[in-house]
A = this chain, B = another copy of it.
Amino acid sequence: MSHSQNSNRPLEIFGLKSDLIHPGDDIFSKIKVAFSRADVFPKDSDIFVIAESALATAENRVAHLSTIQPSAKALEFEKLYQIDAREAELVIRESDVIFGGVFGVLLTLKNGLLCPNAGIDNSNAPNDCVILYPENPTKSAREIAKFILDEFGVSVGVIVADSRTQPLRLGCTGVAIGAAGFLATVDKRGETDLFGRPLSVTRVAVADNLASAAEAVMGESNESTPFALIRNANAVFDSEAFGITTISPEECMYWGVLSKSEKEP
């Protein structure tokens, strides 16, 4: 494990454009072309960020709504939450858990991560199609890290990035749904504050901070910037590290408060 040694240099984030990614495209080839076009190449301890929709499209994770037969439960979700029953059916099939819904959205766990609609997205998909979540974002992150090592001879971290709303706030921020090559969460419990006392903020979600940083250059619409490269990130690199750490509803402040708020004094 090594910390990057660049405390005096700025953190830098390069947006890397791509032409349109079609279902089944070779993502490694798209990444290679994007580096060449931007004339920016990865170095050791950079972090490469890929938008989940680009990865999922290349992985052929595209579903045609016209082929989906909604179940009784999907039709019930359509009535309750005004979500297309065929999309609801896909959410049922794709999710680990459905916590419930609001207008247009089912809140789910997918691969253990909290996300709306099991990560199913109907923007940036061809007509009548929706893009499912990447099959296994962290596995793909590890494969991309290996591709970059083989192709460029450098060891990088990789983040698969998505967008998420935060409680009671307008707008989406970046979130990491897959990671490899660095510690996605850094534990600061042994460290002290400016006055030598234990910290109250004890863990930093490094991967989520960097996914948000990358979103500032990647865009959400027809901007065609599905990749970013982050340099001089204050991350702990470890080629064996992978994955995103989650917590259970029992450990979550929001769950804890909101699911028992009627019991308050």
Is A12 at the interface (CB under 8 A from chain B)? Answer: yes
A148-B58 Cα distance, complex, nearest whole Å = 46
Is there an interface contact between A173 and B212, defined as CB atoms closer than 8 Å?
A: yes
Interface centre among A107, A171, A185, A244, by most B CB within 10 Å?
Answer: A171
A253-B126 Cα distance, complex, nearest whole Å = 27
Closest to A170 in B: B245
Residues of B within 8 A of A73 (CB): 265
Closest to A117 in B: B200
Closest-CB distance, A221 to chain B (whole angstroms): 4
Stretch of A23-31, A133-141, A149-157, A189-197 contacting B (4+ beta carbons < 8 Å): A189-197
Given A169-B247, A209-B212: A99 and B258 interface contact (C-beta under 8 Å): yes
Is there an interface contact between A221 and B199, defined as CB atoms closer than 8 Å?
A: yes
Is A121 at the interface (CB under 8 A from chain B)? Answer: yes
User: In residues 177-196 of chain A, which contact B (Cβ within 8 Å)?
Assistant: 185-186, 188, 191-196
Which one of B12, B20, B188 contacts A10 once the chains associate, using CB atoms below 8 Å?
A: B12
Is there an interface contact between A234 and B261, defined as CB atoms closer than 8 Å?
A: no
A7-B38 Cα distance, complex, nearest whole Å = 11
Is A240 at the interface (CB under 8 A from chain B)? Answer: no
Is there an interface contact between B208 and A167, defined as CB atoms closer than 8 Å?
A: no
User: In residues 209-228 of chain A, which contact B (Cβ within 8 Å)?
Assistant: 209-210, 212-213, 215-217, 219-222, 224
Residues of B within 8 A of A265 (CB): 73, 76-77, 80
Given A12-B11, A209-B216: A204 and B246 interface contact (C-beta under 8 Å): no
Is there an interface contact between B168 and A249, defined as CB atoms closer than 8 Å?
A: yes
A121-B201 Cα distance, complex, nearest whole Å = 9
Is there an interface contact between A215 and B221, defined as CB atoms closer than 8 Å?
A: no
Given A233-B216, A260-B100: A123 and B172 interface contact (C-beta under 8 Å): no
Is A236 at the interface (CB under 8 A from chain B)? Answer: no
Nearest 8 CB-CB pairs, A to B?
A171-B205, A213-B213, A212-B212, A102-B256, A258-B258, A100-B257, A123-B193, A171-B203
